[in-house]
Structures are given as structure tokens and as C-alpha cells.
Amino acid sequence: MPAEDRSRAGIFLSFQYPVEIPGVSMVNFMRSAVNEHRKYKDLPALSASEFLKLMREKRAVVELDNKLANRSVNEGFSGGEKKRNEIFQMAMLEPRLSILDETDSGLDIDALRIVANGVNLLKTPENSTILITHYQRLLDYIVPDVVHVLYKGQIVKTAGKELALELEEKGYDWIKKELGE
Amino acid sequence: MSAEQQYIDLYSQHKTMINSHSTEVLNAKRSKAFEDFLRLGFPTQKLEKYKYTDIGKLFEPDYGLNLNRLDIPVNPYEVFKCDVPNMSTSLYFVVNDSFYTGMLPKAHLPKGVIMGSLKDVAQSNPVLIEKYYGKLADTSKDGVVAFNTTFVQDGVILYIPKGIIIEKPIQLINILRGDVDFMMNRRVLVILEEAAQAKLLVCDHAMDEKNFLSTQVIEVFAGKDSVFDLYELEETHTKTKRISHCFVEQSENSNVLLNGITLHNGTTCNSVDVTLVGEHANINLCGMAIADKNQHVDNATFIDHAVPNCTSHELFKYVLDDFSIGAFSGKVLVRPDAQKTSSMQTNRNLCVTRDARMYTKPQLEIYADDVKCSHGATVGQLDEDALFYMRARGISEKEARLLLMFAFTNEVVDQIRLEPLKERLHLLIEKRFRGELSKCEGCAMCK
């Protein structure tokens, strides 16, 4: 399945290193994306005013300022802004499944809080989010329903949020031991 | 000398007719130009400047010429509805190479300004034209300039006297019109006296599905402290051949912007020569081409920093699709005394297919030692990472490519100092990339 179809079907993949696209404004980029998603669902394209209203609403989720619309996609964005921009795109596209790959890498405390807050706000009973991280820190803000440990490409342990705390304390070695390695 | 022969015969046989339908000032240059043409012939590809365009071949077919100056029945105001929305311009037409006097714009230009037929003005005010005509376009150096000077009978003059500022842009529409394959030789003379200001937008359109060949020589004299913008927009069809030479001379403290955009064409060969003769003169020379099918766009520029303290800024961008061919050669000469020159040249190109070809050649000749000169040329493809990023957000590959190509060309459009024209171009460029602009936008004929 091509990447664009996966996206339209409701999967959102955040990038660890979002790509800079000089010359393409955020507003054009998002309008194309939103309208392609709508086309896929047989919905009519949004009018310019509807679209701008939607952008305004969703921008608030990650506290991005209104200059964003005219800036080129990720160009000259700080690390924190890029990650916030990823969550902003997620908010715009309303995916059913989001995969956030190390969204916490390279974030300062404030940006981490904003990003986490955004993820929390977007949580509904109809969607799911897979958060990939190496640290407990992000989980102070985003409380997971389930924690999986992935080892050599397989889920080797599954438990509630307390597992993350246990890992923070004891490391991963005890799991390897449990597996008999 | 195969391509040349038919024109040599034509001139020899019809010299009297050509002269009788033109005027003294233009005729005065003809014999010398013809001698130069006899000697030079059409430029061959052995000449560095014409390496990528076979000029002689363009002249080989049999074209009709309107040496007799028969009226071409057309009312451009009726057939041509192109106007840049929200931009009020003083609109003028040139049908082939004749200035259209059937109906002139209602809004008059400021007193003293002359905008009209070169032939008519040369007749009524020969002293003015004589002073400038042919002074920059040296027939002894270029076969096409010699050819144009030999055959030209009319054209356009824009004269702006000292201190006059024309706020409203002047739009000049060149319409190529003919029932048979047709050639036209056009001349444009622009004179800005001290502190004069104007913006000129020239659009090329081809109205009939014929083979057209147009040669054009533009001479621009930018006086001390003058400000001049020249936008050239070509929107013709694939059977059009355009060979244009633009010569600019800039006096002290003058500020000139030249922006040549090839939106849709057949074969185009543009050459621009700018000579900075007064200190603190500034030239901003830009160009852009979008080509697909077998279209051919060749831009050769030459900036002569003859005196110190001048600045030049050059930016050319090409997007080449299908089998199209692009060429750019940018020569910058900084003469020994031209200290404190600042010169920047950039040429960036996208080859969208494997078959598209781009030839780029920056040429800097610097003989002064206290200067700042830079140049950069790239040929590349669209950024795959950016494409993937956009696709990951649900944007189709086709749309993503379009957005990137559009972004690529924007830099040149952003140099335009006329807001409505900028917006109009954004729209036209988008249409062009979507393949909706196969001929020209705005001609009622093509709709």
C-alpha cells in the first residue's frame, strides 16, 4: 500500500526528523493533505474559510502561532517547533491510528509538555496512539493504557503503565533474563 | 550559407519596398546592417553563446514577411481579453511587428511621455530616435541583430522625460497573427531620462496555429537615478520560434529589474546584455522557464561591470519535463577599474524526467581585485525525502511533485515588484504545471 493511501486510510506516522520543504507553505501543504483525505472519504473539499478556521482550532492544540501558515513546511523551525508541527498535522488529519516515533527526542521541557498535552487532547475512544520511546520522561505527561516491550522485533512483555516505572528503575536486563538470555 | 541566401535575395530585391514602408532613421542603419549580415551570417553553434541553439535552422523554412505593411485585420481588444485582474495597466498592442493604433487606452500617460509606433515617432521626431536607435544593438557583432536591423520596419518606443514617474504599469501585448507561416522583426526602444520611473510588462502571444518566427531587439537606456522594471512573459505555442536580444545601458544610480518568464513556447532564444556605465547602478536580472514536450529555452546573459560600485543580482530557474531542453549561460565581466563590484549569480534547474536536458554555464571574468562575486549552478531532481513526507500526509505523488515544482519557481516570481502580476503568475504557473495551460491564458482565441 503506498504511503499516501495508508495516510488516507487513517494511519499517521510522525517523523523523528521532519523534512524541511522550502517554498511550500504550511497552509498549502495542509490544505492539499486535508482535501485529499476528504476526497478519499467522498467528502467535498473545504472552502478557504472553513479550512482556515480548522487550522486556527487545531493550531491551539500545540500552541503554534499564526505566523505558521505562511512559513514553509518545517523550514527554519526549531526542534521543538518541528515536533509540535507533527502533532499539529496529526490534529488536522484526525487519524485512527497514530504512530509517534520518538516524538520526545530533542525536546526541551516546555516543548515536551506542549507536545504531550497535544497528544492527550487528541485522545478519543475512537482512535489509538502508539508511542515509541526509550524514556519514562514522556510518560509523566502521557499516561499510557498499555506498555509493550519490544525486543528483537517482537513484543516480549505487556503490562499496564506500572511496567514503564519498573523499567525506569531496573532497566531491561531482567526482561532479557526472563527470556532466558 | 543556405539559410541566409533566401533572405539575402529578399533584401536585394525588395530593398526599396522595405525602405518605403519604414522611415529615414531606421533605413539609415539598413545598409550597414545588411553588410554585417552578409559577413556574419546566422550565428553557428560554434559560437559559445549559441552553442545549444541552431539559429540557422530556425530560419530555413519559408516564412511570409509583411514587407508591404498590409493591414492585418484584427481588433486585439476584441480577441484579446487577457488582463491581469486587479491590475490596472495602460494597455497597448503590437500585432506582429506593427504598433496597433486602432484604439489607444483611454488613460493618458503623463505629459511628455511617448508611447507609440517607433516608425511614426521616428518620422515626427527623428532627432530623438536618431540619438538612441541602434546605439546599443551593435550589428557588427551578432548576425541576428544585423538581420533584425536589416529587415525591421516598425516597433515600439517608450520615452520618459526627466523626472517623470509613471505609477501605472504599461502593458504591451505582442500578438502573432498570420494565415500563413510568418516572420516578424520587431524593435523596442525604451528611453528613461534622469530620475524617470516606469514598469513595462510585455506579453507574447501566438494567435494562430501557424509557424511563427519572431526576432526582437530591445534597447533600454536607463538614465541617471532612473528606475525601470521590464517583465517579459512568453505564452505562445509549440510552433513559435522567438529570438530576442535585449540591450541595456545603465547610468549612475539607476535601478533596473529584468524578469523574463517563459511559460509556454516552442523554441526560445533570449539574450540580455547589460552594461553598467554609471557608478552605483543596480541590475536585478531574473528569468524562469517551464518547459515540457520538445520545448527549447535558451537564455544567454552578459553583465558588464564597466565602472566601480555597481551591483548585479542574477537568478534563473528552469523546470524541464519530458524531452525539453534548457540552456543558460551567464557571463559577468568585471573590468579592471570596477572595484567594489558586488555580483551574484544563481542558476537552479530541475530535470523532472531522464530525457530532459539542461546545459548551464556560469562565466565570470574578474579583472578587479576588490570585489564580491559569487555564482552557483545546480541541476537536480525533486527532493525524494520531501516527496515521501508529503505522501505520508496523504498527498498524492502527482500533487506532491506539483507543490514542489511550484515552490521551486516561486523564488523568481517573488522578485516581481508588482503585486497583482505576482498573484496572476502564481495562478498561471499552477495551471501550467497541471497541464491546463497548453497554449495561452487569456486569448479568447484559444478558449
Tens of pLDDT, residue by residue over B367-383, are: 999 999 999 999 999 99
What is the model's pLDDT at position B351?
95
Cell of B118: 517607433
Cβ–Cβ of B407/A24 closer than 8 Å?
Answer: yes
Of A7, A15, A32, the CB nearest to B403: A32
Of A4, A6, A21, the CB nearest to B396: A4
Q: Which residue has the higher pLDDT, A146 or A65?
A: A146
Mean pLDDT within A28-47: 94
Distance of residue B346 Cα from the nearest chain A Cα, in angstroms: 17
Residue among B72, B133, B77 nearest B97 (CA) = B72
Question: Does A96 lie in the same domain as A56?
Answer: yes
Instruction: Report pLDDT digits (tens) over B392-419.
Output: 999 999 999 999 999 999 889 989 999 8
Cα–Cα dist B270/B202, whole Å: 14
Three-state DSSP at B161 gives: coil
| Domain-embedded: residue A140 | no
Cβ neighbors of B14 (< 8 A, separation 6 or more) are B67
Mean pLDDT within B171-176: 89
Split at pLDDT 50, 70, 90, the class of B104 is confident
Cβ–Cβ of A23/B406 closer than 8 Å?
Answer: yes
SS (H, E, C) B313-357: EEEEEEEECCCCEEEEEEEEEECCCCCCCEEEEEEEEEECCCCCE
Percent of chain B at pLDDT > 70 equals 94
Residue among B411, B433, B183, B407 nearest B292 (CA) = B433
Q: Which residues of B touch A (CB under 8 A)?
A: 383, 385-386, 388-397, 399-400, 403-404, 406-408, 410-411
Mean pLDDT within B233-256: 96
Cβ–Cβ of A4/B391 closer than 8 Å?
Answer: yes
Query: By the CB < 8 Å criterion, does A3 face chain B?
Result: yes
| Domain-embedded: residue A160 | yes
Query: By the CB < 8 Å criterion, does A7 face chain B?
Result: yes
What is the model's pLDDT at position B445?
35
| Domain-embedded: residue A138 | no
What is the model's pLDDT at position B446?
36
Cβ burial of B197 (10 Å; 0-12, 13-18, 19+) is: middle
Of B385, B397, B407, the CB nearest to A19: B385
What is the model's pLDDT at position B107?
64
Q: Which residue has the higher pLDDT, B258 or B82?
A: B258
Domain boundaries, chain B: 2-278+416-446, 283-381
Mean pLDDT within B104-127: 89
Cβ burial of B377 (10 Å; 0-12, 13-18, 19+) is: middle
Cβ neighbors of A13 (< 8 A, separation 6 or more) are A6, A7, A98, A99, A101, B392
Cell of B367: 579583472
Residue among A77, A85, A121, A122 nearest A103 (CA) = A85
Instruction: Give the number of beta-carbon pairs within 8 Å between A and B.
Output: 71
CATH number at residue A72: 3.40.50.300
Question: Does A99 lie in the same domain as A41?
Answer: yes
Instruction: Report pLDDT digits (tens) over B319-369.
Output: 999 999 999 999 999 999 999 999 999 999 999 999 999 999 999 999 999
Q: How many CB atoms lie within 10 A of CB A90?
A: 25
Mean pLDDT within A78-102: 92
Cβ–Cβ of A23/B391 closer than 8 Å?
Answer: no
Mean pLDDT within B216-228: 98
Alpha carbon B331 to its chain's center: 17
Alpha helices, DSSP H, located in B181-305: none
Contacts of A19 in chain B (CB under 8 A): 383, 385-386, 388-389
Mean pLDDT within B3-15: 94
Whether B441 has a pLDDT exceeding 70, the answer reads no
Distance of residue A12 Cα from the nearest chain B Cα, in angstroms: 7
Is B171 within 8 Å of B254 (Cβ atoms)?
no
Instruction: Report pLDDT digits (tens) over A110-121.
Output: 888 998 999 999
Contacts of A89 in chain B (CB under 8 A): 393
Cβ–Cβ of A32/B399 closer than 8 Å?
Answer: yes
Q: Which residue has the higher pLDDT, A27 or A106?
A: A27
Of B383, B394, B403, the CB nearest to A7: B394
What is the model's pLDDT at position B72?
74
Whether B101 has a pLDDT exceeding 90, the answer reads no
Contacts of A3 in chain B (CB under 8 A): 388, 391-392
Query: By the CB < 8 Å criterion, does A97 face chain B?
Result: no
Whether A178 has a pLDDT exceeding 50, the answer reads yes
What is the model's pLDDT at position B50?
94
Of B394, B407, B411, the CB nearest to A8: B394
Mean pLDDT within B165-181: 90
Residue B86 per-residue DSSP state: T
Split at pLDDT 50, 70, 90, the class of A62 is confident
Handedness of CA A113, A115, A118, A122 (dihedral sign): negative
Split at pLDDT 50, 70, 90, the class of B78 is low
Distance of residue B232 Cα from the nearest chain A Cα, in angstroms: 23
Cβ–Cβ of B383/A21 closer than 8 Å?
Answer: yes
Is B280 within 8 Å of B253 (Cβ atoms)?
yes
Contacts of A24 in chain B (CB under 8 A): 386, 403-404, 406-407
Distance of residue B434 Cα from the nearest chain A Cα, in angstroms: 14
| Domain-embedded: residue A58 | yes
Whether B82 has a pLDDT exceeding 60, the answer reads no
Whether B444 has a pLDDT exceeding 50, the answer reads no
Alpha carbon B167 to its chain's center: 22
Asked which of A155-164, B69-78, B316-325 is least confident by mean pLDDT, the reply is B69-78
Rg (CA), chain B: 21
Cα–Cα dist B10/B151, whole Å: 10
Question: Does A19 lie in the same domain as A41?
Answer: yes
Cell of B95: 500585432
| Domain-embedded: residue A8 | yes
Domain count, chain A: 2
Asked which of A66-75, B217-226, B292-301, B378-387 is least confident by mean pLDDT, the reply is A66-75
Asked which of A64-73, B97-106, B438-447 is least confident by mean pLDDT, the reply is B438-447
Cα–Cα dist B210/B207, whole Å: 9
Cβ–Cβ of B394/A21 closer than 8 Å?
Answer: no
Question: Does A89 lie in the same domain as A8?
Answer: yes
Question: Does A116 lie in the same domain as A85?
Answer: yes
Amino acid occupying residue B314 = E
Range of the domain at A165: 145-181
Distance of residue B399 Cα from the nearest chain A Cα, in angstroms: 8
What is the model's pLDDT at position B304?
97
| Domain-embedded: residue A139 | no
What is the model's pLDDT at position B438?
53
DSSP string, A145-165: S-EEEEETTEEEEEE-THHHH
Question: Does A180 lie in the same domain as A95?
Answer: no
Cβ–Cβ of A36/B389 closer than 8 Å?
Answer: no
Asked which of A58-72, B200-214, B266-280, B331-345 is least confident by mean pLDDT, the reply is A58-72
Cβ–Cβ of A36/B407 closer than 8 Å?
Answer: no
Residue among B114, B150, B125 nearest B32 (CA) = B150
Mean pLDDT within A125-146: 89
Contacts of B319 in chain A (CB under 8 A): none
Cell of B330: 551567464
Beta bridge partners of B334: B305, B366
Contacts of B386 in chain A (CB under 8 A): 19-21, 24
Mutate: best of A16, A17, A36, A75, partner B, most B CBs <10 A: A36
Q: Which residue has the higher pLDDT, B407 or B71?
A: B407
Do β-strands B357-366 and B325-334 pair in parallel, antiparallel, or remain unpaired? parallel
Q: What is the mean pLDDT of chain A?
A: 90
* CA nearest to A22 within chain B: B407
pTM, entire model: 0.88
